[in-house]
Structure 1
Amino acid sequence: MHCQTCGDATSPAFDECQRCGTRHGQPAVLPGVPTYAVRGLGLAVRVAVGATAALFTLSALFPLLGVHLARSAAEQLDRDVLLGAVLAEVLFTLPFVLAVLVAATLVVIWTWRVRRNLDAFSGAAPTQSTAWAIAGWLVPFANVVVPARVVAEVARYSLWRRRTPWLVPLWWTAWLVFSIGERVVAQLEEQRYGRLTEWPRSEAEFATYVTFYQEAFVPRLVPVIACLVAAISFVVLVRRISAAQQDRIARARPVFPGWPGHPGWPGHHAWSGQFDQSGRPGPPTAGVAVPAPVVGPAPGASAATSPQLPPGAGGTIGA
């Protein structure tokens, strides 16, 4: 006897699969419980998170350009060049802010969907409610812990792990270092910038701007490295979880036993493929064998309900 979810051989000594936790005889997806597509959304999340990390890295490296502009302003004693440096940094930062908004929206939706799918998975017993999949990102103080707990449960039950995958604590630790470090660095830079001469006139006053940009580069490396680590680890998590859930959901959508053309349908070999006025199958056509149609999810559908099916033979799905 094999597990309906992961395909491993089961033992009568246990009531559930020792790999994925599915109870013997239960299907991979519980009948009648809605599930949500996550493969396409997961791809969008990975692209948005990767773009956000790249744009932040680009904006964080602006002091390299700032030093060059400040030196040019000091040589020419031109304050307009310094003003141009400020405007250039704004142009570097604005795309990053927009990318953050897009990525944050997609991540919240993805977190809710993958957590909601756990309710339909046999053997899953999450302790974090579906509401926390959204509120956990938005509620102050709770957003320091809750999102990591939600993703940890999703990773365990989606990837059939007894323990939380190491990528989860790596991602969340790097994310916290980035979030806190970026704010601290920004505040320190703001204080240092406020001590500069607003309208420099002498070479010495212009030189303070050169020093400002030189000293701003090294502290920014800490949030940059943390951002890249968090982005890469989260992208890998999203890919693995989305693929595992989507494959599991797909296995719960075979041909409906009651559909015309299925071997269990009376006279399926002679069905004409037409329906009468009442909506029932039309009269049989002699000598015509009609193959059973395969029914799958409608194109673009984001949610589906698992059909009422008896347990079938198990298999394996890639994580």
Structure 2
Amino acid sequence: MHCQTCGDATSPAFDECQRCGTRHGQPAVLPGVPTYAVRGLGLAACVAVGATAVLFTLSALFPLVGVRLARSAAERLDRDVLLGAVLAEVLVTLPFILALLVAATLVVIWTWRVRKNLDAFGGATPTQSPTWAIAGWLVPFANFVVPARVVAEVARLSLWRRRTPGLVVLWWSAWLVFSIGERVVAKLEESRYERLTEFPRNDEEFATYVDFYQGALLPRLAPAVACLVAAAAFVVLVRRISAAQQDRLARAVPAWPGWPGGQPGWPAAHPGWPAPGAPVPVPGASAPGAGGPSVTSPQVPPEVGGTIGA
């Protein structure tokens, strides 16, 4: 006898699968519990997270450009060149902020969906509320711990691990270094920039801007590297969790005894049973023409939409 969830051989000495925790005879997905498609949403989140990391790295390396512009301004004693450097950095930073907002939205929705799917997985015993899958990212101080706990639990129960995967630890450690380090570096740069002469007039005052950009590069490298590591680890996590959950949802197909079409054991004339060739009714699914697919049926997971519950 094999487990309907992971396919491992089961032993009569235990009431549940020793790999995934599904009870013997229990389906891979509990009927009547809402489930959500996550593969497409996960891919979109991966693209957004990757773009955010690349754009932040480009922003962190801007002092290389700033130094050249500051030296050009010092040679010509031209304050307009310094103003151009400031505007250029703003133009580099704006795409990063936009990508960050998009990535944050997609990641929050993905986290909520993969956590909700655990409720439909037999053998899974989640302890983190689906509410914290959203609030954990938004509540101050809690956002330093809760998102990692939610994702760690989702990873364990989706990938059938007894311990938290090392990728979760790597991702969250790198994220904290990036999140805290970026704020610290920004504060230090702001303090240094305020000490610069607002309207430089001579070589010495222009030289302070060259020193400013030269000193800004090294502190920015640590958050940039941490951002790239966090993004890479999170992308791998999202892809693995999404694939595992989507594969499990695909197993949620009703096993009818003796499928019509000439196989023995199909009582074609039984009252209330579908006739041979007729579509099999799915409990909780909407009738044709009465709306979109129902989220109450694991057999027909909804398509990825623009809202959390879509």
TM-score (norm 1): 0.84
Other-structure match for 1:64? 64
How far, CA to CA, are the matches of 1:98 and 1:254 in structure 2? 44
4+ runs of 1 displaced by more than 3 Å? 254-265, 290-298, 300-304
Amino acid at match of 1:266: A
Pair 1:161-2:161 in alignment: yes
How big is the shift at 1:255? 7.0
The corresponding residue for 1:306 is 298
What is the match of residue 312 of structure 1? none
Q: CA deviation at 1:265?
A: 5.6
Amino acid at match of 2:165: P
Verify the 8 A CA contact 2:2 2:10 in the aligned structure 1. Answer: yes
Show the counterpart of 2:37.
Answer: 37
Q: CA deviation at 1:303?
A: 3.6
RMSD: 2.7
Describe the SS at the equivalent of 1:131.
helix
Equivalents in 2 of 1:126, 1:84: separation in Å?
53
2: CA distance, partners of 1:265 / 1:46: 48
Contact 1:37/1:302 (<8 A) preserved: no
Cα deviation for residue 260 of structure 1 reads 7.7
Mapping 1:158-197, distance limit 5 Å: 158-197=158-197
Does the 8 A contact of 1:32 with 1:305 survive in 2?
A: yes
* 1:194-273 equivalent positions in 2, closer than 5 A: 194-254=194-254, 264=266, 266=268
Structure 1 distance, partners of 2:293, 2:114, is 16
Which of these two proteins has the greater Rg computed from alpha carbons?
Answer: 1
1-structure distance, mates of 2:5, 2:63: 53
**For residues 42 and 181 of structure 1, what CA distance do their matches in structure 2 show?**
27
Partner residue in 1 for 2:302: none
Q: 1:118 to 1:143 in 2, by over 3 A?
A: same
How many angstroms does 1:262 deviate by? 9.3
In 1, the alpha carbon distance for the partners of 2:24 and 2:104 equals: 39
Distance 1:179 1:153, change over 3 A: same
Question: Within 2, Cα distance between the matches of 1:212 and 1:34?
Answer: 55
Q: How many residues are paired up?
A: 289
CA contact (8 A) 1:21 1:123 kept: yes
Q: Please tell me whether residue 77 in structure 1 is matched to residue 69 in structure 2.
A: no
Report if the CA contact (8 A) 1:182-1:220 is conserved: yes
Counterparts of 2:133 and 2:257, CA distance in 1: 36
* Equivalent residues of 2:260, 2:277 under 8 A apart: no
> 1:44, 1:106 within 8 Å by CA — same for their partners in 2?
yes
Q: Which residue of 1 aligns with 2:303?
A: none
Partner Cα separation in structure 2 for residue 306 and residue 129 of structure 1: 20
Aligned in 2, Cα 1:96/1:22: closer, same or farther, shift over 3 Å? same
1:305 partner SS: coil
What are structure 2's unaligned runs of at least 5 residues?
Answer: 287-291, 300-310
1:42-53 alignment runs, 5 A limit: 42-53=42-53
Q: Deviations over 1:66-91 (max 9, x none)?
A: 00000000000000000000000000
Which residue identity is paired with 1:64?
A: L
Report the counterpart of residue 306 of structure 2 in structure 1: none
Task: Give the aligned residue type for 2:58.
Answer: L
Between 11-20 and 188-197, the greater mean CA deviation after superposition: 11-20
Distance 1:262 1:20, change over 3 A: farther
Query: Letter of the aligned partner of 1:306 in structure 2?
Result: P
SS in 1 for 2:35: strand
Q: Secondary structure at the match of 1:36?
A: coil
Matched, 1:28 2:20: no
Query: Which amino acid is 1:132 matched to?
Result: W
Q: Does the CA contact (< 8 Å) of 2:19 and 2:160 recur in 1?
A: yes
CA contact (8 A) 1:36 1:304 kept: no
CA distance in 1, matches of 2:197, 2:294: 57
Superposed CA deviations along residues 155-212 of structure 1, whole A, max 9, x for unmatched, are: 0010010111100011001001100000000000000000011000101110110010
